Structure 1
Amino acid sequence: MTLSSNGQHSKQEWEKNVEKTMKRFPERSRSFHTSSDIPVDRLYTPEPLSEDYINQIGFPGQYPYTRGIQPTMYRSRYWTMRQYAGFGSAEETNERFRYLLKQGQTGLSVAFDLPTQIGYDSDDPMAEGEVGKVGVAIDSLKDMEQLFREIPLDQVSTSMTINAPASILLAMYIAVGENQGVAKEKLTGTIQNDILKEYIARGTYIYPPKPSMRLITDIFAYCQEHLPKFNTISISGYHIREAGSTAVQEVAFTIANGMAYVDAAIEAGLKVDQFAPRLAFFFNAHNQFFEEAAKFRAARRMWAKIMKEHYKAEDPKSWKMRFHTQTGGSTLTAQQPDNNIVRVTMQALAAVLGGTQSLHTNSRDEALALPTEDSARIALRTQQIIANESGVADTIDPLAGSYYVESLTDQIEKEAGAYLDRISEFGGAVQAVEEGYMQREIHQAAYEAQKRIESKEDIVVGMNEYQLDEEIHADLLKVDEALERGQIEKTQQVREERNQEEVDRCLQELREAAAGQDNVMPPIVKAVQAYATVGEIANILRDEFGEYTAM
């Protein structure tokens, strides 16, 4: 078979995949045209198709997925517009959720407050002053029921940014679904459940690495059997980038963490093709437009090669890197906050051109406070304008073939691969975290970036150049201090009204499972259904697993 005929064969295989896909997801239009009535083809490729093109770039929906994981990408349906939201009480956040859904949001994303993220109830002394401040306060199943009031869980997918207590919040989501009459196997969504990046960059850990990895693989096994449509983890480069990493480090450290989770699941007895199709990823989108788009393409290709060649996965679904993107919170400025709308637009466009599956666009005022309703709406409208008015979603991977983009994609893959080699010398990501290697690399990158800003080698418009004399906006969202008292009273009322004997029995079953080898998810589900609180369940695991102390 000649080079050109080999390429032609590959294109024909892709076209067959397009036909199959369109039976399930027809394209949004019978024909796509520019404003000048110029036809827009589904895909653009060089002719003839070289061997290098087939192996490195290829076709959307085909290995190595450089051009996207779906054969038709956004010509069939747009990415999920999943705005991250959560503040104050479950009732307030429920109102924001329903508002955003009415405005055209297509998926939910829950931000939890700091006490919930580290396994403390609102009436715990450790929670004082933090209840509802950076997310919604969830103490018991009653809060979770109020959070999703009038939101049918069989029609909406939900992402939850929760890590150390991910098993508890997932159990609550399951219980809410059952109370709504939605079977577990119909639930769709994602739990972040990525503890390694907490040790590296974010800090909301509870337990040491080894028991934390056990919790994660217990979730993998439970969901494989009971929640086949739910993403069991969102391996997160986002927070690594927020901590100051470069784009290359974001890709490398995220993939290294992903490999650690795959290794742990295999060691726990799971077969790679049983759990790998439900692994998901979460990336940042920063201001360097072309580097960001190339970053996504490189990460997708690297993961496909690792899963196929290193782990010998046979199911093509195991090779696909499905990822959510959030625009860069650390790029937002308190000065001239309306400038952030422009930054977010560029970042969102890079994510779309990079082939993201879902997207959150930050609000203009998030450098100052939680977003107001108006700011959240503008952020959502940014995605909707890109989708409906820009034309970038009308053809697949429109940046492909750019000498610059392809060179950047190759270079990011090469440099990220060098980091992976170094991490493997430590014995993998867990050992590299314990040695502080990735933390040191991120700290150095953040230091170098800050030096460039302070010397004005890098210009941040409105902050170190083009400043204005301005007043801080007065119309910022503020969480009512009375909320904490109300949340404490609600949680104490739950304890008074529940069957305490049932709670004690469920917590004892959890203690026995944690002390032994049994999967902890079934007793956690029972405990939340009996209205045991987040803190009570987390404390049982603290007793058995201990707590992690940073180096």
Structure 2
Amino acid sequence: MTSKYENQHAQWEKEADQVTERFPERKSLFETSSHITVERLYSPNEIDKTYMDKLGFPGQYPYTRGIQPTMYRSRYWTMRQYAGFGSAKETNERFRYLLDQGQTGLSVAFDLPTQIGYDSDDPMAEGEVGKVGVAIDSLADMETLFDQIPLDKVSTSMTINAPASVLLCMYIAVGEKQGVPKEKLTGTIQNDILKEYIARGTYIYPPKPSMRIITDIFAYCQEHLPRFNTISISGYHIREAGSTAVQELAFTIANGMAYVDAALASGLDIDQFAPRLAFFFNAHNQFFEEVAKFRAARRIWAKIMKEHYQAQNPKSWKLRFHTQTGGSTLTAQQPDNNIVRVAIQALSAVMGGTQSLHTNSRDEALALPTEESARIALRTQQIIAHESGVADTVDPLAGSYYVEKLTDNMEKEVTDYLQQISDLGGAVQAIEEGFMQREIHYAAYQSQKAIEQREEIIVGMNQFKIEEEVNEELLRVDEKLEKQQIKKTQSVRTERDAIAVEQALNRIRKASQQTTINLMPLILDAVKAYATVGEICNVLRNEYGEYTGM
């Protein structure tokens, strides 16, 4: 028997088709950025009746509706603005400014030489010192970076991967100098090398030794830094490289599984290390797709940890994540439009239940942010938190026919990708075979083609253009900085105990040849002796070699 609902739905479809004869729809096919078809209407029939299996309550498995029972009613997300440029002194001033403006967590951007393990006076660093982040060569720089910033009261995220062990040890050493014991330090190191091979490129060593260093960090932090997140498994850079939302989520979760596998193979207990795993996602312009992505991410990870890995601790099932708004979505043309884009993206992250958030600045496509632009970006978060009302109830979009169907679709598409990656032998093997890279490249090509053919409208860039003057109010890093940083680093080398440094580096060299010795205590000793980032990384370069790509 046909239900009343079905009769009325059929009648509505007929009326809608009649309307489109007079007023055709804007497109023959509506779809998300991941090419999931968007139907004309979503209704109760679209939602699976198994509410408790797929949704449940916030703070309960499978965490679709959030990992905490009360979410932002108890505490807002951490407002963690990513910052770093020039010298440690300049970046320290920006950090303190942002904290004074109400930021609630720090996020460090390192310059390119630091990210790939070169000191500022290395020929490879020429022209890049302090340009895309802060230059950190030795513990002396780290001490300046966190001057007058109490590490027992502020959590710090560090976007560092190949040399993550070195920078974490520097952070520990600064904490000790402040009188803050290791067990009280809070924050996150990105420490996600697999996505570097896929999308970003700031790797140093081949995959196998890189994974060894990562599991050493897991083990060390498990014992000594129980409140520190040992990895931020990052989809952000995968999305920035041109992936779809589905690919971002699928490849990130596949990488997460690879880290879990490596940790288990090294002898670690899943319920000891898994609660400190964290994720890092992108937020793009398609609001509902992004909300669905975040909700699907929690559900997928919870099922994997509980059902596949048999983790017993509910904390091991919870996917905690940081979000950054999409840098690649911002335009050099009409940069004030980016304020609106960032607001939409930030709202999707909050509606999706993020634990911390960075909002990009309006001048992202042109330069590092000015102080004014950084303040506007922070104010965007504060307005969402304090004025919009969206944080007053948990998972406010739950029950939306569209959002729930899109969450289900996202889960299915991601699960299909995960099966393909599993069939290839897992994330590491898929990376080595170039599978993920090819998928991202094709998605990026399709997106760029749609923009160039104006099938996808970018306001102010390929439509609604205006004549514009060159913006002179951009942040520019003083070229003198490089010489000053080189001088400081060379001064550190002159003043330190050279014998102590040589002995510490030799101990790292010998330990790197034995997989049973954790490198972290030895790296910490070298850092405290004022060995530089480049010196420590060069020891490991000589032992492990360098990764040169496909």
> Given the two structures, how large is their TM-score scaled by the length of structure 2?
0.91
Output the CA distance in 2 between the equivalents of 1:409 and 1:366: 30
Alignment map for 1:376-525 (pairs within 5 Å): 376-517=374-515, 518-525=517-524
Structure 2 residue matching 1:280: 3-state secondary structure: strand
Alpha-carbon shift at residue 315 of structure 1 (Å): 0.3
Output the CA distance in 1 between the equivalents of 2:73 and 2:48: 26
Alignment map for 1:131-210 (pairs within 5 Å): 131-210=129-208
Alignment map for 1:191-230 (pairs within 5 Å): 191-230=189-228
1:536 maps to a residue whose letter is E
1:97 maps to a residue whose letter is F
Q: Deviations along 1:497-549, whole A, 9 cap, x unmatched?
A: 00000000100110011011211101000000000000000000001111001
Alpha-carbon shift at residue 472 of structure 1 (Å): 2.0
Output the CA distance in 2 between the equivalents of 1:300 and 1:380: 26
Q: Name whichever of 201-210 and 508-517 sits farther off.
A: 508-517
Name the structure 2 match of 1:239. Answer: 237
Name the structure 1 match of 2:99. Answer: 101
Structure 2 residue matching 1:306: 3-state secondary structure: helix
Output the CA distance in 2 between the equivalents of 1:314 and 1:508: 41
Q: Deviations along 1:140-191, whole A, 9 cap, x unmatched?
A: 0000000000000000000000000000000000000000000000000000
Output the CA distance in 2 between the equivalents of 1:51 and 1:313: 27
Structure 2 residue matching 1:160: 3-state secondary structure: strand
Output the CA distance in 2 between the equivalents of 1:287 and 1:475: 26
Gaps of 5+ in 1: 1-45
Name the structure 1 match of 2:326. Answer: 328
Output the CA distance in 1 between the equivalents of 2:476 and 2:548: 32
Name the structure 2 match of 1:312. Answer: 310
Name the structure 1 match of 2:65. Answer: 67
Alpha-carbon shift at residue 274 of structure 1 (Å): 0.8
Structure 1 residue matching 2:530: 3-state secondary structure: coil
Name the structure 2 match of 1:534. Answer: 533
Output the CA distance in 2 between the equivalents of 1:502 and 1:354: 50
Alpha-carbon shift at residue 482 of structure 1 (Å): 0.1
1:226 maps to a residue whose letter is H
2:386 maps to a residue whose letter is N
Output the CA distance in 2 between the equivalents of 1:490 and 1:450: 44
Output the CA distance in 1 between the equivalents of 2:511 and 2:218: 16
Output the CA distance in 1 between the equivalents of 2:49 and 2:317: 21
2:278 maps to a residue whose letter is A
Structure 1 residue matching 2:50: 3-state secondary structure: helix
Gaps of 5+ in 2: 1-43
1:96 maps to a residue whose letter is R
Q: Deviations along 1:70-95, whole A, 9 cap, x unmatched?
A: 00000001000000000000000000
Output the CA distance in 2 between the equivalents of 1:50 and 1:215: 44
Counterpart pick for 1:293 among 282, 291, 297: 291
- Pair 1:371-2:364 in alignment: no
Output the CA distance in 1 between the equivalents of 2:121 and 2:48: 64
Alpha-carbon shift at residue 326 of structure 1 (Å): 0.1
- Pair 1:277-2:279 in alignment: no
Name the structure 2 match of 1:347. Answer: 345
1:119 maps to a residue whose letter is G
Output the CA distance in 2 between the equivalents of 1:473 and 1:287: 25
Structure 2 residue matching 1:228: 3-state secondary structure: coil
Question: Where do 4+ consecutive residues of structure 1 move more than 3 Å?
Answer: none
Output the CA distance in 1 between the equivalents of 2:545 and 2:423: 28
Output the CA distance in 2 between the equivalents of 1:61 and 1:353: 15
Output the CA distance in 1 between the equivalents of 2:374 and 2:148: 21
Root-mean-square deviation (CA, aligned residues, Å) is: 0.9
Output the CA distance in 1 between the equivalents of 2:287 and 2:440: 21
Alpha-carbon shift at residue 129 of structure 1 (Å): 0.0
Distance verdict in 2 for CA 1:50–1:428, change over 3 Å: closer
Output the CA distance in 2 between the equivalents of 1:428 and 1:527: 35
Name the structure 2 match of 1:31. Answer: none
Output the CA distance in 2 between the equivalents of 1:195 and 1:206: 9
Structure 2 residue matching 1:480: 3-state secondary structure: coil
Output the CA distance in 1 between the equivalents of 2:352 and 2:459: 25
1:371 maps to a residue whose letter is P
Give the paired residue count.
504
> Given the two structures, how large is their TM-score scaled by the length of structure 1?
0.91
Output the CA distance in 2 between the equivalents of 1:472 and 1:353: 36
Output the CA distance in 2 between the equivalents of 1:426 and 1:540: 33
Alpha-carbon shift at residue 50 of structure 1 (Å): 9.1
Output the CA distance in 2 between the equivalents of 1:53 and 1:84: 38
Output the CA distance in 2 between the equivalents of 1:211 and 1:251: 25
1:540 maps to a residue whose letter is V
Structure 1 residue matching 2:148: 3-state secondary structure: coil
